[in-house]
């Protein structure tokens, strides 16, 4: 019998997830269906309940996108360590009435960097821009790659400092580097090998107050937003950095979710190439 999956969000019409998972299923021979579900704000738990209760076919799991990742975290009856660290859930698994919450965003970012872009975070000086949910989801996976340093910079320095302190104190997390949190003004005179934009500036079109020298020679500048040339990408390109957007992260986090659900890891190169084809 076909197993059912979905992605919940608002807005959701633009989502590439149904196509991505259809390509994964065809590649791996998995019998699944996957749909995009628009959820009105305030009705996320009811939407998940309705999806689970439908008797057309077994509901096995769901992805969650903005603005419901924090609600998914609260809804989950069990959570993985990486979901606990992120404080947000983007992948739900349904098992005998239990709702298991996971977060595959950080794993998707790291895999895109290492396998698609040839940019191993190990030993690199990393600058993470932003201190919101997008940043939270990737800090632990980046730390576990043993960078030389991880600096979190935010417009509000106190927010970045609190986030760095929180991740520096994670129980049972054996990482060699403790993150540092600063304001954008503190970036003067510092240079990084990998700069990741996890702020909402890519969506709003805002220009970040970044010194040009923050992009070290041969720096990789990674924009989590995909499908558009953002001011951050323009800044980085003008400074001579190698620029990438978040499309690879989208595909890789989906592959991680597919693996969580089906126990099979799909190959992503062909899927990423298909998404880039007009």
What does pLDDT average to in each consecutive run of 10 residues of the chain (278 residues)? 95 95 98 97 96 90 94 97 93 95 97 97 97 92 94 96 91 74 96 96 90 97 94 97 97 98 98 92
pTM of the full structure: 0.94
Closest CA to 15 of 51, 54, 88, 64: 64
Cα dihedral angle (45, 47, 52, 58), rounded to 10 degrees?
Answer: -150
Rounded CA separation 34/18 (Å):
6
42 known member of a binding site: no
**Alpha carbon of 87 to those of 57, 84, 119, 126, 270: distances in Å?**
31, 5, 26, 22, 32
Find the catalytic residue in 69, 114, 178, 276: 69
246 known member of a binding site: yes
Rounded CA separation 64/166 (Å):
24
Domain segments of the chain: what residues? 3-103+249-276, 114-245
Closest CA to 267 of 278, 258, 38, 228: 258
Task: Please report the pLDDT score of residue 173 as a whole number.
Answer: 62
133 known member of a binding site: yes
90 known member of a binding site: yes
3-103+249-276 and 114-245, same CATH topology: yes
CATH 3.40.50.10860 fits 3-103+249-276, yes or no: yes
- Quick check: is 69 catalytic? yes
Q: Fold for 114-245, please state it.
A: Rossmann fold (3.40.50)
């Amino acid at each position: 019998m076909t197993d059912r999956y979905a992605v919940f969000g608002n807005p959701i019409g633009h989502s590439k997830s149904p196509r991505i998972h259809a390509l994964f299923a065809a590649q791996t021979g998995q019998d699944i269906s996957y749909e995009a579900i628009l959820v009105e704000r305030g009705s996320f738990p009811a939407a998940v309940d309705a999806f689970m209760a439908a008797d057309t076919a077994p509901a096995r799991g769901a992805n969650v996108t903005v603005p419901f990742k924090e609600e998914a975290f609260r809804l989950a009856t069990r959570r993985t360590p990486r979901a606990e660290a992120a404080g947000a859930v983007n992948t739900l698994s349904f098992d005998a009435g239990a709702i298991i919450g996971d977060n595959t965003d950080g794993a998707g970012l790291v895999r895109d960097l290492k396998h698609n872009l040839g940019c191993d975070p190990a030993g690199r000086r990393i600058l993470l821009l932003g201190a919101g949910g997008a940043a939270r989801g990737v800090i632990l996976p980046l730390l576990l790659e043993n960078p030389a340093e991880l600096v979190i910079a935010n417009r509000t320095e106190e927010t970045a400092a609190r986030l760095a302190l929180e991740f520096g104190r994670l129980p049972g997390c054996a990482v060699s580097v403790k993150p540092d949190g600063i304001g954008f003004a503190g970036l003067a005179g510092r240079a990084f090998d990998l700069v990741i934009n996890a702020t909402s500036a890519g969506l709003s079109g805002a220009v970040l107050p970044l010194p040009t020298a923050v992009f070290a020679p041969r720096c990789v500048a990674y924009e989590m937003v995909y499908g558009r040339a953002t001011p951050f990408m323009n800044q980085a390109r003008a400074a001579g950095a190698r620029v990438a957007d978040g499309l690879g992260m989208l595909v890789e986090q989906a592959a991680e979710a597919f693996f969580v659900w089906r126990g099979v890891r799909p190959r992503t190169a062909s899927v990423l190439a298909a998404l880039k084809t007009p």
